[in-house]
Structures are given as structure tokens and as C-alpha cells.
């Protein structure tokens, strides 16, 4: 079985005006892992 991630996000940045929320983050998601992302309005997203 491969160790490669099923989802890879690289160098993601998010700013709200002058406020930096995330600066060049990278995330690897492995098979079977659960990850929740919180949106700018406070709503959560969970990839399946």
C-alpha cells in the first residue's frame, strides 16, 4: 500500500485585510484520517 496522501494542500494562505489567518500552511491527509477546517464565517467543513 502506498504512503502517499489522498489529499495534499500546499502553501495555502488566507488574509482578512491586514490580518493573516494562515500563512503558507501545508496539509497532507492520509487514508482514514478526518480533518475539519473552519471557514471565515465560523462554519466547519469536513472532507469525506
pLDDT at residue 1 in the model: 57
When comparing pLDDT for 9 and 43, which is higher? 9
The ranges assigned to domains in the chain are 1-30
pLDDT at residue 44 in the model: 60
CA distances from 36 to 1, 12, 18 (A): 25, 15, 25
pLDDT at residue 29 in the model: 92
Amino acid at each position: 500500500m502506498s504512503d502517499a496522501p489522498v489529499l495534499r494542500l500546499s502553501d495555502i494562505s488566507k488574509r482578512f485585510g491586514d490580518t493573516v489567518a494562515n500563512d503558507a500552511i501545508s496539509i497532507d491527509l492520509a487514508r482514514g484520517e478526518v480533518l475539519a477546517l473552519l471557514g471565515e464565517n465560523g462554519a466547519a467543513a469536513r472532507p469525506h
